[in-house]
């Protein structure tokens, strides 16, 4: 009797076929790309406003301002292209962020001067 255990013959794993794992960007509808980017901007701005959790360590109003302004430009420019069905929730999220920014600021901006308001107009509660 021998103590040697048979070693299985290991075949090298084939490299994954990335072509089948990913969609070609040309096949992704524009509305999907636009809304996905908008949701990423919305989420990043919310985190930078400290809305991710109480006593958030990630609060950075300067970064939030930039992200909200970019989101406002994207939503405003693409609203006619992505239809009201997709644009309305993005507008609601944008307005919520703009109001949260105003609330988080020690010195609130004048109406019309807040982040993204050059694209959306003044935002009031």
DSSP the chain: ---PPPPP-PPPPPPP-HHHHS--GGGS-HHHHHHHHHHHHHHHHHHHTT-SSTT-S---HHHHHHHHHHHHHHHHHHHHHHHHHHHHHHHHHHHHHHHHHHHH-SSPPPTT-STTHHHH-----
- pLDDT tens readout for residues 84-124: 999 999 999 999 999 999 999 999 899 999 999 999 999 98
In this prediction, residue 26 carries a pLDDT of 80
- pLDDT tens readout for residues 17-60: 667 667 677 888 999 999 999 999 999 999 999 998 888 888 99
In this prediction, residue 39 carries a pLDDT of 97
Query: Phi and psi dihedrals of 72, rounded to 5?
Result: -60, -45
Question: Which has the higher per-residue pLDDT, 86 or 4?
Answer: 86
In this prediction, residue 7 carries a pLDDT of 60
């Amino acid at each position: 009797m021998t103590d040697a255990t048979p070693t299985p013959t290991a075949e090298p794993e084939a490299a994954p076929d990335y072509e089948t794992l990913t969609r070609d960007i040309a096949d992704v509808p524009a509305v999907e790309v636009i809304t996905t980017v908008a949701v990423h901007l919305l989420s990043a701005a919310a985190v930078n406003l400290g809305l991710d959790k109480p006593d958030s360590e990630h609060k950075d109003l300067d970064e939030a301002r930039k992200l909200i302004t970019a989101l406002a430009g994207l939503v405003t420019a693409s609203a006619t292209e992505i239809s009201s069905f997709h644009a309305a929730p993005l507008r609601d999220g944008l307005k919520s962020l703009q109001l949260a920014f105003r609330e988080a600021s020690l010195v609130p901006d004048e109406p019309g001067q807040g982040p993204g308001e050059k694209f959306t107009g003044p935002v009031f509660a």
